[in-house]
Amino acid sequence: MGRPRRSRPDLPQRVYSRCGRLYYVDVPGKWHALCADDGNRSALFEALAKLHAAPQRSAMEDLLDRWERDVLPRKSERTGQAYGRQLRILRCMLVQFTHPKQITPPIVAQILDGYGAPVMANRLVALLSTIMTSAVRWGLAPSNPCLGVSRNKERPAGVLVTDEQFTRVAKRASREVADAMWLAYRTGQRQGDLLSLRWTQIDWDAGRIYWRQSKTGTELHQVMSAELRTLLQELRARPVIGMTVLLTSRGKPWTSSGFQTAWRRLRAGFPFRAIRPKSGSDHQTGEHLGHKNPRTLERFYRLKPKEVDSL
């Protein structure tokens, strides 16, 4: 039983008056509006009855909401959009669970086996693993149930753009899109990092570009080849120069959606992201892509068949 009220003893427990209205304050400290503070007792008790009759949100819903509010905005634009779509699917799949502790390895296995598309099932479990890692950190779960559960097998995309394909598309592309293509090929970086590349990241005297990859946070000091330096010098000699290296035909920085629209209109026959594996395959080692895991590099970004000697 709480201590006696010092003011407004006529009000029920946890009901307070603020700015001419009455509010109910729950245990976590959230204020719920009830009605006007005009002395109408029937309206007050009716509002309290409706409040307590409303279904209470589960701990699982609170976890998903907290992750979406606090963690998702820190992701890059494209990753955030993909996670947002996957999170909506996860909400539907996890609606039967009221607490993160109910998510166990067999439940994770059911998601992997029961979802129609095996690759998308892997993505959903990868996102669930990220969320459950946050749940462990916030004290909502004892461990991450996704760890140790083997994922569905995936085949690498295997889209290796040939030199002839690349050159043909670059010739018929607009100058601005062709610039992005050649910069992607020479540097091997992702679309988001290319579009946000600033001139201040380039050290002409040292012959280096300083990258901080938005997806992984990896820092790269990329030595400029003669071809890359020539490309950047040509871009710097253009009539319109902005803070970013790549600009639209109007001299404005690209947005991710705007560039994707321009790429779709080009109808290249391959996605822009396929330029990164081409760069990794044509490079001597592929280290300029910034992948720390050599298995990932070899499986997804080194797509050329190996040349072997005969006996």
Give, to the nearest 10 degrees, the angle between helix 105-114 and helix 118-137: 160
At 84-130, the pLDDT tens digits run 999 999 998 888 888 999 999 999 999 999 888 899 999 999 999 99
pTM beyond cutoff 0.75: no
Summarised one tens digit per residue, pLDDT across range 25-60 is 876 677 888 999 998 888 888 888 888 776 667 889
Instruction: Report, as ranges of residue numbers, the positions in the chain whose pLDDT lies below 70.
Output: 1-4, 27-28, 54-56, 156-158
pLDDT of residue 301: 76
The predicted structure's pLDDT at residue 1: 47
